[in-house]
Amino acid sequence: MQKRPLGKTGEKITHLGMGGFHLLEIPQEDVNALLNKYLDKGGNYIETSASYGKGESEKKIAAAVSGRRDDYLLGTKVDERDKEGALNTLDRSLKNLKTGHVDIWFMHAVQNRDDANEILAPGGALEAAETAREQGKVRFIGITGHGQPFGLMHAVKNYDFEALMIPTNYYDHFNFPDVPGKLIPLAQLKQTAVIGMKAFADGYLWRSPERALRFALSLPVATVVAGMNTMELLEKDTALAEDFKPLSHEEAGEIYREAPEYRDYVCRQCPKCDQIKGIPVKRIFEMEGWFDRQMWDGEVVNPEDYSLRVRLGPWYQQQEEARNTFYWDDIKLDETDFSREDLRGFCPYGIDIPRKLRIAVEKLSSDWNLY
């Protein structure tokens, strides 16, 4: 497999990594086979978290490949925000993983500015990371987050992390435009390695695996971590990675126009709506993306699709931030705004703007909750 620089660390990492969450779902003998097969194919990055199964994922990884520790870079995550709690968790992780050090230790799920300030504060988890690095227990310090990067932007501006782990998929590309538009460029400027996750949008892109993985690998990422928990998935994903060719601008545009998961509902944040007077349409649809990833469109298509959208819509838990921002932006619409003729028929992606606007405003301005 291709290897890419891991930011400013001097290490090189294979562009397809092995995620540890879904290893919880399978027996140890399957974990053994999968992880060893991944390493035999040349893969060299395995990541997990102390919170995955309360350490069970870490233990499974250790049982499978701790004897091959020199063959891979290892990352794990910590949820605690204080120094003492974080250090205690790290010691448990090292014991679970049967190793003296992890290569990347991530401050996990930094979702908002409060989370960021907790880890950055004196006595916070970053102090634990610095201490652990001095002790040789941690080589590089990372941070993770999901959705709109309220906390990640603040944290990355204020600390030189070596790694940043974020979702990278074409479905969420337009739900959280500050990720490709601001966060990734900031990481590039600081030479912070970007590690992609959720290339398949938590399973929502299961119908389009080739398109999804190719899109994620075409972004400026060091690696994309996939949750390969069957040999079939491992073989398929590694084959796609080995045959990878970056998307051209035209091919990316084709995805934005034609990917079926967008339905006729997901706003692509194109400039067309800028011509609308008096209604910040793009901004409202962006906040709807924060709220529920524009999953709910008022239509029940089939039970499978319905169940996925209801489960995955609130996955990043940023409904409060979306509604607060809508309130702070002081957006006021009335019935006449939803029936304006200049809202109809011009969206290049076929979105019924008045209908979508009504749904988005209901989500953001009321107690509406499908979830």
**356: containing domain:** 271-365
Band (pLDDT 50/70/90 cuts) for residue 275 is confident
pLDDT tens track for 145-163: 999 999 999 999 999 999 9
Which of 227, 254, 281 corresponds to the end of one domain?
254
pTM for the whole thing? 0.96
Band (pLDDT 50/70/90 cuts) for residue 370 is confident
- Percentage of the chain beyond pLDDT 70 is 100
Flag whether 214 is in a domain. yes
Same domain assignment for residues 63 and 103:
yes
Six-digit token pair at 5?
Answer: 């620089």
Number of domains in the chain: 2
Same domain assignment for residues 73 and 126:
yes
Same domain assignment for residues 346 and 205:
no
Which of 254, 285, 311 corresponds to the end of one domain?
254
Summarize the confidence of residues 126-131 as an average pLDDT: 98
Contact between 268 and 349 under an 8 Å Cβ cutoff? The reply is yes
Same domain assignment for residues 20 and 52:
yes
Flag whether 262 is in a domain. no
Same domain assignment for residues 154 and 195:
yes
Same domain assignment for residues 118 and 235:
yes
Summarize the confidence of residues 348-360 as an average pLDDT: 96
Same domain assignment for residues 74 and 123:
yes
Same domain assignment for residues 204 and 282:
no
pLDDT tens track for 329-340: 999 999 999 989
Flag whether 162 is in a domain. yes
Flag whether 29 is in a domain. yes
For position 216, which CATH number holds?
3.20.20.100
Band (pLDDT 50/70/90 cuts) for residue 300 is confident
Which of 254, 279, 313 corresponds to the end of one domain?
254
pLDDT tens track for 164-204: 999 999 999 999 999 999 999 999 999 999 999 999 999 99
Same domain assignment for residues 234 and 339:
no
Six-digit token pair at 339?
Answer: 């029936």
| CA–CA gap between residue 52 and residue 31 (Å, rounded) | 15
Task: Output the CA torsion 46→50→52→58 (10° steps).
Answer: 50
